[in-house]
Structure 1
Amino acid sequence: MDHSTPQLNSLIIKMAVKWNFRCACWGFISSLLASVLLNCCFSPQSHLAFRVIAGAAAVLIGISSLIAFHISTLRCSESHTLITLLMSYKWHQGERLSTPSILAKATDMWKRPREAQEDLIRELTRRHAKTEYGRKNRLWEIRSVEDLRKKHPLTTYDHYSDYIQRLADGEEGVFLDEDPMRFGVTSGTTGAGKKIPLVSFGLEGDALCSQIKRLALYQGAQRPSPVQKRCFVYIHPKISLTKTGRVISPYMFIKQEDTKRLSELSSPPPAFTITNEPSAAYVHMLFAIADTNLALLSTVLTPQMYRALKCLEAKWQVMLEDLSTGQINAKIPLDPDTRRSLQGYLRPNKARVSQLRSEFEKGFHGILKRIWPHLIAIEAIDIAGFKKKIEETYTDGVPYFNWAYGGTEVGQLAINMWLHDKEVRYAICPHMAVVEFIPEQNSSDEDPKTLLIDEVEVGGRYELVLTTRSGLYRYRNGDVIQIVGFHENCPAMRMLYRSGEYLNLVYEKVNTQVVDAAIKNTIQGWPGIQLVDWTCAESPVYDPESSELYYIVFLEVDPGKRELNDVTAEQMSKFDEHLQQDHVYYSGLRESNTISPSRVKFVRPGTFLELRDFRVNKTTASVMQYKTPRKLRTREHVIWLMERVIETN
């Protein structure tokens, strides 16, 4: 820690004493009371019933004394109430005690992944065999993964849409053996959002993945105290209801009733009802900076984390004013009831304000460790390169945990077990879904052959096929992954691209991984200019009447101190050259003039945030799960972006 900040050290000590002192006092008093009751318990003059009651009370009070003494030794977030303190302590201590059994269970399934898959398919077909879907597809005959591969066809969402709608309308016994708790809805990145039933059996498997994920984080970083709080940047999504009143929402959905989870979070329950992203980011950051002892900073995807940190950088002076007065700035758009509730949790803390002001005035490079000296990590799934932007500005040594791969259809399918490795990879969790793999070169076949979890090879690229806990059998989710190694005997993977986002004017099938590399290689030749985001489209979507075929690439960049007019047409043409170098079919079609040169368009600053809001308002996507579409599918979206193009020389 920086020795030039003695006030910070002093403040940490003062804040830590508060709960520590209370717990130490309770431990001392309760131990005395327990000893008095024990004396009564062993007194021969006392009535037997009284002695039994006194003994029981002594044991309970003695246990509370031990817990209090233990908490008094721990680093503690001072915003805890007694209830949240005890709930957080119970949850995390329980997890700590169960760590050996969790690790043993995880290690066993990774050492014997095929057996774990066989166990799962038998359980799934047993559960679903008597449903209408089970009878129609003769699920009782499927007793192994090999049976599944031979006897059930590959499917897409259309195969299930009618069943799911009937389930949502309240019909029983359609294709699941249990009623859904709610319905998740996908982000709709490659098309319309899909409604997926979420059942307790699926959420149980996902809970084990969450436990494994946290243990993976703790193996790579110091385990925080069970009473340190975590900041989770969350934007409450728009929801709807089925005819039977069940919630339809994105997979990540927090209710205020989720008391176990909320007890460990730095933001109070009303913060998790805010639907406006800038307001939610402001509130989560405000309560986070009030806590010197914050342990973890997390969200689902990196863009939300980046924007939350940018909000802190832009509005820290306003936040400090709020922290001084205990009142949230009136210019922050909030529902009046939510504002009143939040202000009930916000306590003025002028000493903390003074310390924060000193650090903020030094600049924001490496700010996280300076304002949260006990922060163990940041966690979010990286998309679009936002991890690099966060690390370049804010972290300065705080580990970054790119924690999982998954989706609404399956939950968390694979976990990153390697916190400090530069190359992100995920160990597949064979208890979550029966996983099959279509070799990339065969993904366009009418009935492609699949490989099983013990048949894939390192370096192989495959489209995933999933049989899930939510009743989807041999479901093609459209993701193409690469096997990059093994964890124990289980494949470790990395995400490549979505097959639904191919660019394909003739037969070339250029995936977005290739396009992304060509864009980044091109921008490297423009010194001082940084990529913000990108998307692209095929020319027939924009101009269906034209016979000319080409790609349109929309770039939002941060020019720094340069002018975009400084980028010449020759420099922009490098994108097409890089694309030809990286894709042989595209190169051949360009050489024959079947496809014309790609057209690179700069869009004005903020366009991709506007695009997100535009799509979220018109689709089932939520801000928390939104991913920029790499391929625009409608003329409406292409024209919308064309209207925001910056004309350059």
Structure 2
Amino acid sequence: MATGPPSSQALGTPISEFLLSSGTSGGDPKLIPTVKDELDRRQLLYSLLMPVMNQFVPGLDKGTGLYFLFVRSETKTPSGLPARPVLTSYYKSDHFKKHASNTCTSPLAAILCADVFQSMYAQMVSGLCQRHRVVRAGTVFASVLLRAIQFLQQHWEQLAANIEHGELSPCVSDPAVRAAVAGILQPDHKLAQFIRTGCSNGDWAGIIVRIWPNTKYLDTIVTGSMAQYFPILRYYSGDLPIASTKYVSSECPLGLNLHPMCDPSEVSYTIMPNLAYFEFLPTDGGVAAATELVELARVEAGREYEVVVTTYGGLSRYRVGDVLRVTGFHNAAPRFRFVRRSGALLSVDADKTDETELQRAVERASVLLRPHGAAVLDYTSRVCTKTIPGHYVVYWELTATAQQGGVGTGSVDGNVLDRCCLEIEEALSYVYWVLRVVDGAIRPLEIRVVRPGTFEELVNLAVSQGASMGQYKVTPMRDGLGRHPTS
């Protein structure tokens, strides 16, 4: 279809465009076919989010959202159809444009600016100018919200100067963006001084609630690979609740969280059967345990399944790659908790460590950093096979969490990291322990601390190579050479 033959030969409804997957599972984005009325189904899911939230958080209609949303440049396939990430497709749609001004502080022109720096800068200054209107803050993925906070850390002086003089810096050159922000940005010496006072002392704990004091919760996905960002987001937000409201993929929307204010570790999603046709492949020990697919109405509580979708866009029994556990039912509708990506495993021998198990181990080890005024800002992992036997390598980027007078990350020496390595290994599975300690089939785990800003550079590299800022996710590296997916 992408190279030329008319899609109507395969489907009754012609393909309207191709959605690019994030690329984090296999290294390269996939082309996902979609049809025009798929946007209606996505909008149906999105339209239910606020009614659900209103049941748990009062007063949301009294303000707006501080959302950092991004698009990327789109391409065309040889057949002439657009190829772009699902978020870019949605943000450029009439569905989104109709409601954007009422739901977030960011001007539409800033969201639709493909230059990530200009877009972030304009959205941040707009959010600062409207800080008292903000009742919720978020991004699609937690990693992007963390990057927005880091952007504020790096550019608060320039942002404050813009607000003081009521004029946007020349670093934002897009005429449409400048015109949109001009309607929001007015000279405000008091606000500029407030930003300088709040950001200049080096204390970033609770910065979100200090600058946006009416914020009631964070709206961002912290399940799956995003779970690693939960502790640092709690630090920056002053322990605000974090709501993971929806479960969507490039292939199709899937469902929503009917109990959004639960602890992130307890998040379950109720799949809406009108969004696609859903089937489930039972799994056992991380691999498919059967060839017979189970229908949505016949899944069993407590069991794990890999989700399989047949979509309106033409995918037939497509394995999305997400492994889910049935946690219960809403009336007769099953509720699912995301467990892992089916292919995201570290393995040297017979061991199989998935991202959830590694995340728990890293959380346990990171507790040892607290007395030293440090925390894990971001991490990834790989298996090193240059040595025989091989071993796990975990890359940490650290950030200081100590208040003024604290010692920061400088005191995290080799002895502390050695203890962290042992703590991670203690938290891994019994199979890993046998292979590591009894059989000697795995060498000791290694933590490598990367310099500050490394993961931000990784994001910048991915975006420069065509990844979507809004869909970027860090996943385990794929081989012993340390090559990382481009998006």
Pairwise TM-score range, normalised by the shorter structure: 0.7 to 0.9
CA-to-partner distance for each residue in 1:601-638, whole Å, 9 max, x for gaps? 222222222222233434x5311101001233473627
Residue matched to 1:67: none
Structure 1 segment 77-92 matched on structure 2, within 5 A: none
Q: For 1:67-109, what per-residue CA distance to the aligned partner results, in whole angstroms no more than 9, with x for missing partners?
A: xxxxxxxxxxxxxxxxxxxxxxxxxxxxxxxxxxxxxxxxxxx
Q: Which residue of 1 aligns with 2:124?
A: 285
Q: For 2:107, which of 268, 291, 302 is the aligned residue? A: 268
In structure 2, the partner of 1:118 is none
* Corresponding residue SS for 1:414: strand
Shift of 1:474: 1.6
Contact kept, 8 Å, 1:535 with 1:632, in 2: the verdict is no
Q: For the Cα contact (< 8 Å) 2:322–2:341, is it kept in 1? A: yes
Q: Once the 2 structures are TM-superposed, how far is the Cα of residue 511 of structure 1 from its aligned partner?
A: 1.4
Distance 1:371 1:507, change over 3 A: closer
Query: After superposition, where does 1:549-628 map in structure 2 within 5 Å?
Result: 549-558=390-399, 560-568=408-416, 570-575=418-423, 577-579=425-427, 582-590=428-436, 591-618=438-465, 620-628=466-474
State the distance in 2 between where 1:273 and 1:639 align.
Answer: 25
Equivalent position amino acid for 1:269 in 2: L
CA displacement, residues 500-536 of structure 1 (integer Å, 9 cap, x when unaligned): 1112333322212112222222232343331122222
SS of structure 2 residue aligned to 1:348: coil
Equivalent position to 2:381, from 502, 513, 536:
536
* Structure 2 residue corresponding to 1:182, chosen from 8, 13, 17: 17
5+ residue gaps, structure 1: 1-163, 641-649
CA deviation profile, 1:562-620 (whole Å, cap 9, x unmatched): 433243574144046325xx3233233222222222232222222222222233434x5
Which residue does the alignment assign to 2:137?
297
Cα separation, 2, equivalents of 1:639 and 1:305: 21
Residue 454 of structure 1 aligns to a residue whose secondary structure is helix
> Equivalents in 2 of 1:552, 1:400: separation in Å?
30
CA deviation digits over 1:357-390, x for unaligned, max 9? 5973796554545554554433111214323323
Moved more, 473-482 or 521-530: 521-530
CA contact (8 A) 1:323 1:346 kept: no
Identity of aligned residues (%): 24
Give the SS at the match of 1:604: coil
Larger Rg: 1
Which segment is superposed worse, 256-265 or 503-512?
Answer: 256-265
1:418 aligns with 2:259: yes
Q: CA deviation at 1:488?
A: 1.8
Aligned to 2:47: 211
Specify the SS of the correspondent of 2:365.
helix
Deviations 1:489-508 (A, max 9, x none): 21112212111111233332
Which residue of the other structure, out of 487, 493, 504, is the alignment partner of 2:347? Answer: 504
After superposition, what is the alpha-carbon deviation per residue over 1:456-512, rounded to whole angstroms, capped at 9, x for unaligned? 233222221222232212211111122222222211122121111112333322212
Q: Given the alignment, which residue of 327, 341, 347 partners 1:484?
A: 327
For residues 286 and 356 of structure 2, the distance between their equivalents in structure 1, rounded to whole angstroms, comes to: 17
Tell me whether 1:224 sits opposite 2:71 in the alignment.
Answer: no
TM-score (normalised: structure 2): 0.85
For residue 516 of structure 1, give the secondary structure of its aligned residue in structure 2: helix
Q: Post-superposition shift, 1:256?
A: 8.1
User: What are the superposed Cα offsets for residues 232-273 of structure 1, whole Å, 9 maximum, x if unpaired?
Assistant: 212221321123443211110122865303332322232123
Q: Check 1:224–1:513 CA distance in 2 against 1; reply closer, same or farther (3 A cut).
A: closer
Which one is further off, 308-317 or 259-268? Answer: 308-317
Partner of 2:404: none
Supply the AA of the counterpart residue of 1:315: H
Shift of the 352–225 alpha-carbon distance from structure 1 to 2, 3 Å rule, reads farther
Q: Whole-Å Cα distance in 2 between the matches of residues 230 and 445 of structure 1?
A: 41
In structure 2, the CA distance between the partners of 1:338 and 1:552, relative to structure 1 (3 Å rule), is same
Measure, in 2, the Cα distance between the counterparts of 1:234 and 1:608.
19
Counterpart-to-counterpart distance in 2, 1:325 and 1:234: 26
Q: Secondary structure at the match of 1:385?
A: helix
The residue that corresponds to 2:236 in the other structure is 393
Secondary structure of the residue that 1:553 maps to in structure 2?
A: strand
* Helix, strand or coil at the partner of 2:295: coil
1:153-180: CA deviation from partner (whole Å, max 9, x where unpaired): xxxxxxxxxxx434xx351324332223
Distance change (3 Å), C-alpha of 1:225 and 1:602: closer
Q: Which amino acid aligns with 1:574?
A: L
Distance in 2, matches of 1:551 and 1:303, equals 23
Q: For the Cα contact (< 8 Å) 1:187–1:626, is it kept in 2?
A: yes
- CA distance in 2: counterparts of 1:514 and 1:364, whole angstroms: 29
Cα 1:523–1:375 change in 2 (3 A) is closer
Does residue 632 in structure 1 map to residue 478 in structure 2? Answer: yes
Paired letter, 2:334: P
Find out whether 1:458 has 2:458 as its counterpart: no
Q: What are the Cα deviations for residues 124-152 of structure 1, in whole angstroms up to 9, with x where unaligned?
A: xxxxxxxxxxxxxxxxxxxxxxxxxxxxx
Secondary structure, in 3 states, of the residue corresponding to 1:184? strand
Select the structure that is richer in helix. 1
Structure 1 residues 341 and 260: alpha-carbon distance in aligned structure 2, compared to 1, 3 A threshold? same
Letter in 1 for 2:468: S
Secondary structure, aligned partner of 1:180: coil
Equivalence for 1:240: 75
What is the CA distance between 1:284 and its match in structure 2? 0.8
Distance 1:629 1:368 in 2: 27
Pick closer, same or farther for the CA change 1:547–1:638 going to 2, 3 Å.
Answer: farther
**2:92 equivalent among 255, 264, 280:** 255
Distance 1:335 1:174, change over 3 A: farther
Query: Matches of 1:561 and 1:599 in 2, distance apart?
Result: 19
**Match of 2:46, SS?**
helix
Q: Which has the higher contact order (CA 8 A, sep 6+)?
A: 2
> Which one of 245, 251, 267 corresponds to residue 403 of structure 1?
245
Q: Structure 1 residues 476 and 589, CA, compared in 2 at 3 Å: closer, same or farther?
A: same
Spell out, residue by residue over 1:315-360, the C-alpha distance to the aligned partner (whole angstroms, 9 max, x if none): 3443233223221123x3x335345434542442437627845973
2:177 and 2:477 map into 1 onto residues whose CA distance is 40
What amino acid maps onto 2:415 in structure 1?
Answer: V
- Contact kept? 2:106, 2:126, Cα under 8 Å: yes
- Contact 1:443-1:463 within 8 A present in 2 as well: no
Q: Does 1:522 align with 2:375?
A: no
> CA, structure 1 residues 308+639, in 2 after alignment: closer, same or farther (shift >3 Å)?
closer
Native 8 Å contact 1:369 1:396 kept in 2: no
1:410/1:357 Cα in 2 relative to 1: closer, same or farther (>3 Å)? closer
Report how many residues are paired: 463
CA distance, structure 1, for counterparts of residue 429 and residue 75 of structure 2: 44
Quick check: 2:282–2:290 contact (8 Å CA) kept in 1? no
d(CA) in 1 for partners of 2:480, 2:83: 25
| Range that drifts further, 347-356 or 421-430 | 347-356
How far the C-alpha of 1:314 sits from its partner, in A, is 4.5
Q: CA contact under 8 A between 2:19 and 2:85: conserved in structure 1?
A: yes
The one-letter code matched in structure 2 to 1:537 is R
Residue 329 and residue 616 in structure 1: after superposition, are their counterparts in 2 closer, same or farther (change >3 A)? closer
